[in-house]
Each structure stands twice: as C-alpha cells, then as structure tokens.
Structure 1
Amino acid sequence: MNMKNIFYGLFFVALACSLTGCKKFLDQKPQTEIAADVFWKSEDDIKGGVAAMYDGIQSIFDNNYTLYGDARTDEVRVGQYGNISYAMNGLAAGITGSDWTNFYVTILRANLGIKNIPIVKAKYQTGIDQKAINHYLAQCYTTRALCYFWLIRLWGDVPVWTEPYDDISIEPNRARTSKDIIIDTVILRDLKLAASLSNPSLNNVYEANIGATYSLLMDVAMWKKDYASAITWYDDLVALKKYSLEPTATWKNLFINPTATKESIWSVYWDWTLDGGADVSTLIGAGNTNSDFEVEDSVWTYWTKTPADIRGPQTIDFKNSSHDKFLKFYAPNLDAKGNQLYPNGAEANILFPIYRWADILLLRAEAANKLEDRPTALKLLNQVRARAGVAAYRADSLNNQPIMENAILAERKLELYMEAKRWFDLERTDKVIEVMDPILKYRQTRMGSPAVGFGDPRTILWPINRNVLDANNKLVQNPPY
C-alpha cells in the first residue's frame, strides 16, 4: 500500500456536503475530493468529511463483507459460479478481498477529520458547540480503530498511519507494524479517546456512536483474551440503558430497519439510489444472477429440521432448490406463488450489521465461560435461544468449559449467520483448524483431491494483494503466499 497512490486518487477529503447542501450527511454520497485549503472551513465541511469516512466503510464491506467473515468457514460452500479458492483455503495474492486499499482510504479520511475538525472550530467557525466537535472526533477515532481491527485480524502486521498523508513530500511507503503494538497503541487508544469524546445522548445506528465504541472495546478485549476488561466494557454498554433483544416477532427488523430496534448498535447505511447496489448481493442473492455461495449442508439440515427456530426461514430461502439464496438482509417480497423476489444487484440495499445486542450477549457469555462463570454464560446463551424459539440448554448438558464454549460458538454461527462473524469467532478462539480441517478434507475428497485438510496454519491470514506489494517496496508478503 503506497499512500502516494491514495493521495493522487483522493487528494484529500470528499466534497459530500458542500456540493449537496448536506441535509443529512449519512444520506450523502461523496462526489469528489478537494484540497484542505478550500475545504475544512465550516461545520458543513466537517459533515462532508465524516460522510466521506462512512462512504469508505461502505466500500470496505461492499463486496468483501461475506468474503472476510463467512466465505472461508463452515457456513457456506462455493457454488457453480463462485471461486472455489475460498472454500478450499486456496487464497492467492490476486484474489478478490486481498487488496486492503479501501481500509487505508477510510483511515486517511478519519485522519483528515482528526486533524482538521478542531481547526474548523478554532479558526473558521468558533460557534460550533464543543460537544458536536467532540462527537465528530469520536466517530473518526472509532472508525479508524474499526479499520485497524479488521486489518490486523485479516493480515496480521500492517502499516500504521495515524496522521493524514496530506503532503506528497512525505515518504509514502511504510513497513508493517506488529499487530500487538497496533492493538495497544492505536486501536485501544483510539477507542478510549472516542469513548471520552462521544455524546451518549446521540444514538444514530448508522454512526460510530458510543455503543459502537464500547462494543469494539469489548470485541478487542475478547481478541486479546482479556476477559475481565471485556466484561467491564459490557457493563458500560448495559449502563447506557439503550439496548435489548428485539422481540421474536420482529427479528427481521435488525436487517431491514435497524433504526426501529433497540438491538441494533451499529449498522452500515446503504441506499442504492445514491450508492449503487451493494455488490455482496451478487454473492448471496440477487434477482438477476446466480449466487457465488450456497448454504452449507449442515446449516441447511439444521434449519429445515428445526422449524421452531424462527431464524431459519428468515435467513435462507427454503424454496430455493439450489440453496444459493440468502434472504436475511431483504424484506419479504413474495410473488403470487409465495416465492421471495430478490432485487437485481444494481438495486440491492444491504444494511450491514457491525454490532448488535445478541452478538454482545454471546460475547459476554463467552467471557463468563472463560472465567469459569458457567451460570452466567448459560443464562445469556439461553436468552438468545429463547428469542429464537428454541429450547433452553440445561446446566448439566453444558457442564464444562469446552462444551459450553462450543455451544456458544454454535449459537453465534446460527444467530449471526452471514454477518461476517464466523471466521473471526474461529480465529479468536483458536479453532480455525479444529473446525475447518475435517470440513476441508471432506471437500477435497469429494473433488478427488488429496485430503490434506487445512494445510499450513499461516494461511489463516490473508495474502497481501500483489498490486499493494508492487506499490510499496517496504512490504513483505505473508508466508507462505
């Protein structure tokens, strides 16, 4: 990743609001990029800069949400039209998803906000409420932390930029920094600062709000296996008194109308009339094409044989004989025969969930189990199961830590199916090879290939795209790629 290339492509920050009037900056799609000496002069410019940052998050998830979190797992298999490499642990340096540029575009925009937002108030528009300034900054810090958290989980060590690349005389190439250093000195620092700046009275689900910040802090703590800190951040979330599980009857709201539910914490806004269709729709279900991925047999079997579980028919299309339509993110839209109608890819809205309360409850259950507090783990696990309409677990059936952990992870697989969580769950709990090795051996055998299983454990990480490597001579490829 060469920051000079990004500089020439962006040249600073999006002119989202100054061109459109900025009635609601989350509704604006950035139109162009302009220099700081004519931008960052007003609160509308701040809103435009923040809009550009959220547009960056859209670009990150647009086609890669499924690839990063689900495609390599036991949730799906690759269909006739998909790239079998995802299902066979055969990633290479040119595969879709291996280019991290959109993460760094978004980081650049966050860095520009962090640098320039205070200057707008100090120099150009002194009347802006300091609470508003702080909240804009909190969104920038949380977004930057989100990007680095995804980067280190996907690629391990990565280059770090905590200041904007706003001068082409700056050395554009940087070597990779240890992921552990990034967690402690960038991600956690940013999130704690964001928590101190965020306005807790604001709760826009499409913003990096205080709940999103605490959720990220909890997630990072779980990644570090710092379970006591994870519980502390969970307690801070509870203290906000904002979140609860969506009722069973309206579970679908989480994906089609997240503003109408107390369970949603942070989702990605999308409006195809402004943003174009979400490309991930062509991977999991669009009306004008076959999907790249199909429901894994074990998932299909569980849900078709467990009619009490309300999540199944609202997540996968039971009427689709190819098993390649995932309707979770679409509102019901039935033809005369009762078949779900899917939007064309160019008109698909996917309101990507980043964090929601069921996710947090199950993380809290995982932390409790790690600390040998199985009663709490069982209670939280059963809350999610009760909402889903399935029977509660008995304490005597989950009577040790490994069994409880597997039950929690199995529930997360179902509850958070296709929400870009499963791969990271396996990675966080050191279960990638344990879970995927037998599945890969089965797939390899069916294809007539040697049953080598997962193979080199270093391939848990993604390869760095060859174009990124070519642009930055200080980068070294992840072995064994």
Structure 2
Amino acid sequence: MKTIYIAAISMMLMTSCDNELDQVPLVDLESNNLESFAGVLNAAYYYHTGAVTPQAVMGEFRADNLTFEFDDEPPYPDFHTFNSDLGGLAISEIFFRPFYRDLYKSILSANTVIDKSDSATEVAEAKFLRALSYSKLVMVFGDVPVILTPQPDVSVIPDVDLTRQPATEVYNNVIIPDLQSAIEGLDNSGVATGRASKIAAQGILGKVYMYRGDFAQAAIELEAVINEAEAAGVTLEADFANVVIDESSEILFSTKISGSIPNSSTGTAFVGWFQGKDTKADQDNVTLSLLEAFDASSAAGGGTDLRKALSLSTDPEKPRIGGKYSADQFDQDFIELRLSDVILMYAEALNENGAPAEEVLDLLDPIRTRAGLTALDDTVLSSQTDVRQAILDERRLELAFEGHRWFDLVRTGTADDAMGQTINSNYYVFPIPPSEVLASDGVITQNEGY
C-alpha cells in the first residue's frame, strides 16, 4: 500500500557530514530513546524510491532495448568517458549517486531496526530490505562497503570502515544470510499489504543464487515460490496489460511510489524515461533490435505477440512505451519481482541443471499463451543451448522496460552478442559515484576503467 511511507515522511530531514554514507534519518541519531521502530522501518522501505529510476535506466538504456543521448556527449553505453569530461561526471552524479546514496540510507535504517527492535517481524522485514539493498549495490557496482551496525551518533560515522568488500563475501556473509533469516521470520501476509513477505524473500534469494551461478540452490528457492504462490494470493494475470498495475495479482514485491509523497530522489520518474518524457530519452529511443525481437517472437512461435502493442507504440516512426504503464508516471510502483520473472528463472535454472527440453519449455507455456503465442517445440529447440537462448529471448520481451535486460546480459555472459561489440568486462559494472570516492579521501576506490 502506498500509505506505507506516510509514517516516514516526518523523518526525511537528514543530517550529513562529509560522505553520503553519513546521512541517516534524524530519528536514528536518537534511536536509544525510541520505543517503536515502525517509523525507522518505513524509512528503510521509503529510501528504495530513490534507487528505482537509476536502476531502470541502467537496466534498459545500457542494454539493447533503448538508446540514450546526453546533449552532445557520447551515448550512454560509452562508460569509459564518464570520468574524463564534465558530461561524464554529470551522468555519474545524476544516476549513480542517488542509487548508491539512498540504498545505503535504507541499509542504515534497517541496521537500527535489526539491532534495537523487539519485534521479530520488524527485524525480518529489515533483513529483507538490507539484503535487497546490498544485492542491488553488488549487481551494479561489484565490491561495496559493508555496514552492519546502527550509527547512533553522527560523530562516529567517519570511523566506519568504508573499504569495499569483495562481492562474493557480501553475498555469502550478508545477502544470503539476511534473506534466509527473513524467510524464517516472515509469513505471506505482506503480499497483500505491499510489505516484505516470506515468498518475496524466497524469490529474491532464488534470483541471488542465479547471479551467483548456483543453479541447484536457485531451483530449490524458485520452485518453492511457484508452489506456494497461489496460497499466498499470487497468480499470473490473465491479461498482460494488467501485469504492472499496482493491484496486479502477479507482483511478489514492489517499491511503492506515490505522487502524493515526495520521492527520495529528484528528476524524471522511471516511467517518464520509458515514455520518452525526458530530453535524454525521446520518442525515438526504442531500438530496432527490440522491435525486430517482438516480430521474431510472433514469427517463430506462431500467433501474434500481444506484448508488442502493449509495450510499444504501433507507430513504427515514433516507437515509445505505451499501455504497459500508468499515464501518471509519479504514481506507478516499481516491480522488484513478479511471478513470471520467477517462472522464467526457474526454467533457466532447470535447463542449466540438465533437465529435458520438454520439461523446461513447458514452464513457458502459460506466459506465452497469455502473450498470444503458441508453445515452443521441444523437437526444434532440443539442445541446452537452444533452450537457454529461448528463455533469454522470452525474458527480454516479457520483462521489457522493467530494468532487467542489461543485468540479464551480464549474468548470462551474452552482452557482447546482444550489443554487437566486444565489451571490456570492466564495464559490466558501473562507476562508483565520484563524489563518494572524493569524500572518503580515496578509501572508497573507483572501479577499473572509470
């Protein structure tokens, strides 16, 4: 529910020192005097609103779905220019700073709840949000600083070790244990109220294992989500047009956005980017590659892919995002995880684990039927390689403009093929905001190539 943040609005005044990691909700500075931590927990939810637009833009405009222009500067994919000129620095600060900053604000709020709340449910929710925050940070930046303790006194924050920790250790020591703890501490009542739930934590954990390349563990968690979904009130929407609406039965967890509550970051909302309402993303920003992918989907599988008309304008001269999102870009929630995403990941995990093509492709049938397509033929797509590509293609169209594409390409090692060029692996991750590197006096280091 969008009212999740109302209790947190009075907490949005921030106290800051030299580094964005120093910024915590004012109430955190006096947390020893608090008797209720519901407001601090709401703040941990709220801060994700500042990260969704950068995440969506990174996931789509960096990849082969959408194009990006920044005045006379190089196109968005040319990340090697980011720290070499003023335009590059501006892009880094516009997109990566709010993402980095607000996720750490969420982490600091979650730390306070985890350390001080007497409510097991609040602690479990806070662990879910902390894990979600760190999983996004690692996905985007690779190695990151880890802070797992509350910071009650602003004067001691500069003493926190801000050295970037290896991504593998962040996964193993923070993200996975936090999600496992959240699964143990949550039920599924949060699905209906827009809060963290057991099934959402299982789904995020399954996705984490997919990023880790641990397909056996991923399959276990993702299968559990699919098996428990109906009882939790989560079902595939019969109409693809309804999959992104706030009341969709398909959503496992989303970051709630409301036009009546200020976003934790400024600028064009993610829906506005996709609708061409930003000067850096005009109506002609949809790639020919994506248009052709929708057409190929219809040609290859039989039927007509209904997702094209709902995701894009039918005018080939000015393609843009159409009916898939709310007309009010400031009142559209950002989907963190929905059921079809889980089903496609589960199919991928089974394929990587050596399951027969027929078993894997059958999982795609409900998604394809809803899209107006026929089932894929396992006698034609019989090899593991063929099935792998079919699932990746399905993900591209099913989840278009939901912020997944670039991260899927990196995760599956297919970025070069999709982008039609050899991409230095340095650019699989994004630049740490230069302001953070400078403010930490070099303790926070920059990623290679930037």
TM-score class normalised by the smaller sequence:
0.7 to 0.9
Match of 2:291 in 1: 300
Match of 1:198 among 175, 186, 193: 186
Contact 2:146 2:164 in 1 (8 A): yes
* Structural mapping, 1:449-468, within 5 Å: 453-468=421-436
Runs (5+) with no aligned partner, structure 1: 1-21, 119-132, 331-341, 439-452
Q: Counterpart of 2:77 in structure 1: which amino acid?
A: A
Contact 2:143 2:167 in 1 (8 A): yes
Offset, 1:286 = 6.0
Match of 1:97 in 2: 95
For residues 320-342 of structure 1, what are the alpha-carbon distances to aligned partners after superposition, in whole Å with 9 as ceiling and x for unaligned? 73324454222xxxxxxxxxxx4
Contact 1:91 1:463 in 2 (8 A): no
Match of 2:399 in 1: 416
Indicate yes or no: 2:4 matched with 1:25: yes
Decide which moves more: 34-43 or 48-57.
34-43
Offset, 1:83 = 6.4
Match of 1:208 among 196, 218, 229: 196
Q: Counterpart of 1:68 in structure 2: which amino acid?
A: M
For residues 97-137 of structure 1, what are the alpha-carbon distances to aligned partners after superposition, in whole Å with 9 as ceiling and x for unaligned? 2322222111111111112212xxxxxxxxxxxxxx22221
Contact 1:469 1:476 in 2 (8 A): yes
For residues 73-115 of structure 1, what are the alpha-carbon distances to aligned partners after superposition, in whole Å with 9 as ceiling and x for unaligned? 1111225869643234546242232322222111111111112
Evaluate the alpha carbon distance shift between residue 68 and residue 289 of structure 1 in structure 2; reply closer, same or farther with a 3 A threshold. closer
Match of 2:325 in 1: 329
Contact 2:29 2:152 in 1 (8 A): no
Match of 1:117 in 2: 117
Indicate yes or no: 2:353 matched with 1:353: no
Distance between the aligned counterparts of 1:55 and 1:391, measured in 2? 41
Match of 1:54 in 2: 45
Match of 1:334 in 2: none
For residues 290-340 of structure 1, what are the alpha-carbon distances to aligned partners after superposition, in whole Å with 9 as ceiling and x for unaligned? 73571111222344684822211111222473324454222xxxxxxxxxx
Evaluate the alpha carbon distance shift between residue 39 and residue 479 of structure 1 in structure 2; reply closer, same or farther with a 3 A threshold. closer
Evaluate the alpha carbon distance shift between residue 109 and residue 36 of structure 1 in structure 2; reply closer, same or farther with a 3 A threshold. closer
Evaluate the alpha carbon distance shift between residue 146 and residue 423 of structure 1 in structure 2; reply closer, same or farther with a 3 A threshold. same
Match of 2:350 in 1: 368
Indicate yes or no: 2:216 matched with 1:232: no
Match of 1:313 in 2: 309
Evaluate the alpha carbon distance shift between residue 24 and residue 82 of structure 1 in structure 2; reply closer, same or farther with a 3 A threshold. farther
Contact 2:253 2:336 in 1 (8 A): yes
Q: Counterpart of 2:236 in structure 1: which amino acid?
A: L
Evaluate the alpha carbon distance shift between residue 308 and residue 101 of structure 1 in structure 2; reply closer, same or farther with a 3 A threshold. same
Contact 1:268 1:352 in 2 (8 A): yes
Match of 1:138 in 2: 124
Runs (5+) with no aligned partner, structure 2: 14-24, 84-88
Contact 1:157 1:176 in 2 (8 A): yes
Percent pairwise identity? 24
Offset, 1:238 = 3.1
Decide which moves more: 106-115 or 169-178.
169-178
Larger radius of gyration: 1
Q: Counterpart of 2:4 in structure 1: which amino acid?
A: F
Distance between the aligned counterparts of 1:163 and 1:210, measured in 2? 24
Match of 1:441 in 2: none
Contact 2:219 2:346 in 1 (8 A): yes
Distance between the aligned counterparts of 2:403 and 2:145, measured in 1? 23
Report how many aligned residue pairs link the two structures. Answer: 411
Contact 2:120 2:185 in 1 (8 A): yes
Relative to the length of structure 1, the TM-score reads 0.79
Match of 1:73 among 60, 63, 77: 63
Distance between the aligned counterparts of 2:9 and 2:331, measured in 1? 18
Contact 2:28 2:151 in 1 (8 A): no
Match of 2:269 in 1: 279
Offset, 1:372 = 1.4
Offset, 1:278 = 5.8
Tell me the SS of whatever aligns to 1:208: coil
Q: Counterpart of 1:323 in structure 2: which amino acid?
A: P
Evaluate the alpha carbon distance shift between residue 355 and residue 156 of structure 1 in structure 2; reply closer, same or farther with a 3 A threshold. same
Contact 2:51 2:103 in 1 (8 A): yes
Q: Counterpart of 1:235 in structure 2: which amino acid?
A: E
Q: Counterpart of 1:71 in structure 2: which amino acid?
A: F
Distance between the aligned counterparts of 1:82 and 1:47, measured in 2? 47
Evaluate the alpha carbon distance shift between residue 48 and residue 455 of structure 1 in structure 2; reply closer, same or farther with a 3 A threshold. same
Contact 2:268 2:278 in 1 (8 A): no
Contact 2:27 2:40 in 1 (8 A): no
Relative to the length of structure 2, the TM-score reads 0.84
Match of 2:256 in 1: 269
Q: Counterpart of 2:361 in structure 1: which amino acid?
A: L
Evaluate the alpha carbon distance shift between residue 217 and residue 102 of structure 1 in structure 2; reply closer, same or farther with a 3 A threshold. same
Contact 1:205 1:265 in 2 (8 A): no
Indicate yes or no: 2:245 matched with 1:256: yes
Contact 2:44 2:110 in 1 (8 A): yes
Evaluate the alpha carbon distance shift between residue 375 and residue 275 of structure 1 in structure 2; reply closer, same or farther with a 3 A threshold. same
Decide which moves more: 237-246 or 22-31.
22-31
Evaluate the alpha carbon distance shift between residue 83 and residue 71 of structure 1 in structure 2; reply closer, same or farther with a 3 A threshold. farther
Indicate yes or no: 2:379 matched with 1:383: no
Tell me the SS of whatever aligns to 2:446: coil
Tell me the SS of whatever aligns to 2:9: coil
Q: Counterpart of 1:300 in structure 2: which amino acid?
A: L
Match of 1:431 in 2: 414
Distance between the aligned counterparts of 2:386 and 2:4, measured in 1? 47
Distance between the aligned counterparts of 1:40 and 1:271, measured in 2? 31
Offset, 1:191 = 0.5
Decide which moves more: 221-230 or 92-101.
92-101
Indicate yes or no: 2:108 matched with 1:108: yes
Contact 1:433 1:457 in 2 (8 A): no
Distance between the aligned counterparts of 1:81 and 1:384, measured in 2? 39
Q: Counterpart of 1:115 in structure 2: which amino acid?
A: D
For residues 40-78 of structure 1, what are the alpha-carbon distances to aligned partners after superposition, in whole Å with 9 as ceiling and x for unaligned? 7677x42211221111100111x3132221111111122
- Structure 1 or 2: more helix by fraction: 2
Distance between the aligned counterparts of 2:258 and 2:39, measured in 1? 17
Decide which moves more: 386-395 or 182-191.
386-395
Q: Counterpart of 1:30 in structure 2: which amino acid?
A: I
Tell me the SS of whatever aligns to 1:151: helix
